[in-house]
């Protein structure tokens, strides 16, 4: 029998600065802006202003969490994080995506705070859904969430959990992964990015199996690709497989042998014979190509992992981005396409653009900006919360 979840009764009192964040619509309240904390065991609490008036309900991260509160609802009425609320908000998130993603077999179903389900992320791959929780409140309700997902997600037959992100450390949560429902169906899933079919392992591969935030960018880069192409940090080949449908030859590079093996399998699955997958370090490969006389490409993709997950790492990350893009620009032939990405939230669009300007200047290349893109519409950001708009994908043309 499912546990009954009652409305929040424990109270957390904010400082004046914490209240101003709530009033401004920000979903996060940090521990330094809490005047009086609730009991340590509480996970869903009432939020009160300095005078004791209730202004909302929030998920409480615990006494050691730097991010103390994530707003669940606003207003004086207590709210329960129960089956009814989960079903209602999950259905609403699906309805929003049905407009643009109804025909797709893979997309993000829930994107945390942007879908009014703080700390919960859900991705769909065919008949499988994968959930991640970043808060104690969501973590303690994963069995319930799994049951609701099977009810509301069309065609869902199995539920995997990927609670292996470092963000869980902030609330002292155990890292784990496994199948919650439908384990007999296994952890492999296939889905489509445009015309391309991709296989992923929901438990072993990066993120929740695939990089759904880049799907639209993969497809768009494929539409513009031409000639000889190079995809750095290719992983399972999201960009490379799309490029291979138009380019004459594609080299896909990743230093993870298992990922390269999956990329080769995906190329074979799609009968793409012009895709060469190599195990190599992207920095080393670019340096070697840059040192070869006459070596050039018509399309290059730079899509590295997050170099700056913490604020103190941003300067080193910027140097890494600069080297990658400088060498790519030097290798591109006139008229060539550069697809340059960053998934580091600390690398703001302004800083990313300034880095690309410097790379173009140092490479002595004149560059057009064709498109400034981000994550797909199934990964919405929140206005006034720049941290939620983490992905940059710029399409540039070398003159």
Give the domain CATH number at 109: 3.30.750.80
Give the domain CATH number at 17: 2.30.130.10
Regarding whether 245 and 125 lie in a shared domain, the answer is no
Catalytic residue among 12, 253, 277, 343: 343
pLDDT reading at 309 higher than 90: no
What average pLDDT score do residues 210-217 get? 95
The total number of structural domains in the chain stands at 3
Residue with tokens 């140092």: 362
Regarding whether 378 and 230 lie in a shared domain, the answer is yes
pLDDT given for residue 6 in this prediction: 80
Q: Does residue 155 fall inside a structural domain?
A: yes
Q: How far apart are CA 267 and CA 275, in angstroms?
A: 7
% of the chain with per-residue pLDDT over 70: 98
Q: How confident is the model at residue 2 (pLDDT cuts 50, 70, 90)?
A: low
Regarding whether 108 and 139 lie in a shared domain, the answer is yes
Does the active-site annotation cover 232? Answer: no
Q: How far apart are CA 18 and CA 21, in angstroms?
A: 5
Regarding whether 338 and 248 lie in a shared domain, the answer is yes
Q: How far apart are CA 336 and CA 368, in angstroms?
A: 10
Are the CB atoms for 208 and 130 separated by under 8 Å? yes
pLDDT tens-place string over residues 59-103: 999 999 999 999 999 999 999 999 999 999 999 999 999 988 878
Regarding whether 274 and 240 lie in a shared domain, the answer is yes
Regarding whether 366 and 303 lie in a shared domain, the answer is yes
Q: Does residue 20 fall inside a structural domain?
A: yes
Regarding whether 173 and 252 lie in a shared domain, the answer is no
**What's the domain range around 179?**
83-187
Q: Does residue 323 fall inside a structural domain?
A: yes
- Tell me which of 143, 172, 187 is where a domain ends: 187
Regarding whether 144 and 46 lie in a shared domain, the answer is no
What average pLDDT score do residues 230-253 get? 97
pLDDT given for residue 311 in this prediction: 63
pLDDT given for residue 310 in this prediction: 63
Instruction: Give the residue among 187, 186, 168, 184 at the shortest CA–CA distance from 176.
Output: 168
Regarding whether 241 and 390 lie in a shared domain, the answer is yes
Regarding whether 320 and 174 lie in a shared domain, the answer is no
Global confidence as pTM: 0.93
Regarding whether 182 and 246 lie in a shared domain, the answer is no
What average pLDDT score do residues 359-370 get? 97
% of the chain with per-residue pLDDT over 90: 89
Average pLDDT, the chain: 94
């Amino acid at each position: 029998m499912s546990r009954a979840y009652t409305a929040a009764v424990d109270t957390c009192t904010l400082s004046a600065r914490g209240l101003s964040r709530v009033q401004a619509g920000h979903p996060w309240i940090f521990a330094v802006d809490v005047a009086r904390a609730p009991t340590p065991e509480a996970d869903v609490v009432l939020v009160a202003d300095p005078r004791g008036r209730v202004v909302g309900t929030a998920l409480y991260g615990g006494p050691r969490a730097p991010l103390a509160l994530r707003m669940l609802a606003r207003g004086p009425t207590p709210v329960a994080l129960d089956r009814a609320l989960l079903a209602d908000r999950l259905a609403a998130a699906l309805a929003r995506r049905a407009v643009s993603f109804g025909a797709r077999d893979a997309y993000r179903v829930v994107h945390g705070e942007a879908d009014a389900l703080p700390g919960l992320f859900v991705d769909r791959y065919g008949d499988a859904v994968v959930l991640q929780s970043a808060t104690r409140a969501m973590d303690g309700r994963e069995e319930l969430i799994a049951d609701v997902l099977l009810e509301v997600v069309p065609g869902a037959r199995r539920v995997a959990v990927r609670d292996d992100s470092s963000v869980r450390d902030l609330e002292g949560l155990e890292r784990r992964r496994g199948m919650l429902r439908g384990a007999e169906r296994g952890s492999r899933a296939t889905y489509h990015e445009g015309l391309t079919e991709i296989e992923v392992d929901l438990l072993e591969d990066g993120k929740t199996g695939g990089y759904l935030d880049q799907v639209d960018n993969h497809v768009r880069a494929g539409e513009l690709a031409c000639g000889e192409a190079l995809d750095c940090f290719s992983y399972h080949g999201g960009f490379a497989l799309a490029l291979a449908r138009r380019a004459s030859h594609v080299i896909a590079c990743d230093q993870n042998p298992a990922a390269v093996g999956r990329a080769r399998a995906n190329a074979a699955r799609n009968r793409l014979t012009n895709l060469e997958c190599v195990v190599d370090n992207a920095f080393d490969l670019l340096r070697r190509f840059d040192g070869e006389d006459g070596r050039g490409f018509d399309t290059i993709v730079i899509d590295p992992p997050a170099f700056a997950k913490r604020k103190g790492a941003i300067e080193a990350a910027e140097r890494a981005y600069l080297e990658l893009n400088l060498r790519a620009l030097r290798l591109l032939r006139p008229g060539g396409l550069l697809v340059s990405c960053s998934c580091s939230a600390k690398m703001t669009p302004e800083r990313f653009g300034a880095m690309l300007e410097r790379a173009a200047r140092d490479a002595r290349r004149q560059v057009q900006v064709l498109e400034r893109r981000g994550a797909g519409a199934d990964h919405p950001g929140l206005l006034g919360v720049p941290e939620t708009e983490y992905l940059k994908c710029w399409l540039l043309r070398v003159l």
